[in-house]
Amino acid sequence: MHKLLKEIDFELRPGGTVKFEGGPHGSLASFFHVKNKPGTGSLLHVHPYPETWIVRAGQVRFTVGEENIEANAGDIVIGPANIPHKFLNIGNDLLELICIHPSPIIIQEGLETRS
């Protein structure tokens, strides 16, 4: 049997990001749907599983371990498990990004805080 979830029911986080955890809905996948303004992004964090990012719009710089990876709309980037990472909107427009977590819940350890 299918399940339809309406956007209004998703948890809206600071900066306009939607958080979805699949477990309560019978799914083994979770995600963030990110919409960040220029110059904003995530803080350094880590997960015990790989994370897949789908860049829907804009330009982004991912820092994954010691690597910096620049990606544009249409690109897909995969970060390995247990490697600290973060991202930053480096463009002049809104960044739209889907962050896929292969887990029924999002397991995330923050490694830095905003100043």
- Sites in the chain below the pLDDT cut of 50: none
The pLDDT, as a whole number, for residue 4 is 80
The pLDDT, as a whole number, for residue 51 is 98
Pick the CATH number of 13-31+39-57+71-110 from 3.40.50.720, 3.40.50.360, 2.60.120.260, 2.60.120.10: 2.60.120.10
Q: Where are the domains of the chain?
A: 13-31+39-57+71-110
Q: What is the mean pLDDT of the chain?
A: 92
Q: Where are the beta strands (DSSP E) in the chain?
A: 11-13, 17-20, 30-36, 45-46, 51-57, 59-64, 67-72, 76-79, 85-89, 95-101, 109-110
